Chain A
Amino acid sequence: KQEVTQIPAALSVPEGENLVLNCSFTDSAIYNLQWFRQDPGKGLTSLLLIQSSQREQTSGRLNASLDKSSGRSTLYIAASQPGDSATYLCAVDSNYQLIWGAGTKLIIKP
């Protein structure tokens, strides 16, 4: 059974720092992995999709990597801003359904 774990559960950093969020999964047989952002009480905003055959994807200040064989993905956020404060979730597409991590709550201090 696929399990997704995100470390750390919470992270607080000063504005301007670069940071890395981690996601691991137990079964490497995935179609893809998505990173989402969730603001408090709000919906799920897709940030990046990495197909299982890809190693990384970039969107603006965000870069996500995928090492399928080791069951790991990272989300790199460059030059963090207070507006990046949110919970970041990773989800793996296993058998046409997304299996989710518990998220990393990120606080960027001005």
Chain B
Amino acid sequence: EPEVTQTPSHQVTQMGQEVILRCVPISNHLYFYWYRQILGQKVEFLVSFYNNEISEKSEIFDDQFSVERPDGSNFTLKIRSTKLEDSAMYFCASSEDAGMNTEAFFGQGTRLTVV
């Protein structure tokens, strides 16, 4: 069964360093998303991406964040200068479409720890 895959599963980085989280969405999906979940808190929307551009972003997704689809399969989230409060589980998701019929499929997540 097709699935969303994320790498790495766990990343530890020092504050101020840049990190890139990688995702391979399901191959025929057109919409891609990043969400995060800080330990003990709700899952939060970060950004959605369609047709090689950001379609929606939350107020969390500030200038230190960027997304890219560098080739036909990968979808990346870059955090330019990590802060302690960026420590969270980051989930990538993809969907065939957007709207009523859309079911979003999620990866297993990348646990980012900023020290």
Contacts and interface: CB of A to CB of B under 8 A. Distances in A.
A34 interface: yes
B100 A31 contact: yes
A32 interface: yes
Nearest to A96: B98
Given A46-B106, A93-B104, A95-B56, 10 more contacts: A34-B103, A34-B104, A36-B106, A41-B111, A43-B107, A51-B101, A96-B99, A97-B45, A99-B45, A103-B42
Given A44-B91, A53-B100, A96-B55, A89 B43 contact: yes
B34 to A, nearest CB: 11
B58 interface: yes
17 contacts: A31-B100, A31-B102, A32-B101, A32-B102, A41-B111, A43-B107, A44-B93, A89-B43, A96-B31, A96-B48, A97-B58, A98-B45, A98-B104, A100-B42, A100-B44, A102-B41, A102-B42
Interface of B: 31, 33, 35, 41-45, 48, 55-56, 58, 91, 93, 98-109, 111
B100 to A, nearest CB: 5
A43 B103 contact: no
B114 to A, nearest CB: 18
A97 B56 contact: yes
Nearest to B57: A97
Nearest to B35: A98
Interface residues of A, number: 26
A53 B101 CA distance: 10
Nearest to B101: A51
B42 to A, nearest CB: 5
Nearest to A95: B56
A51 B97 CA distance: 13
Interface string A1-40: 0000000000000000000000000000001101010000
Contacts of B43: 44, 89, 91, 98, 100
Given A31-B99, A32-B102, A96 B56 contact: yes
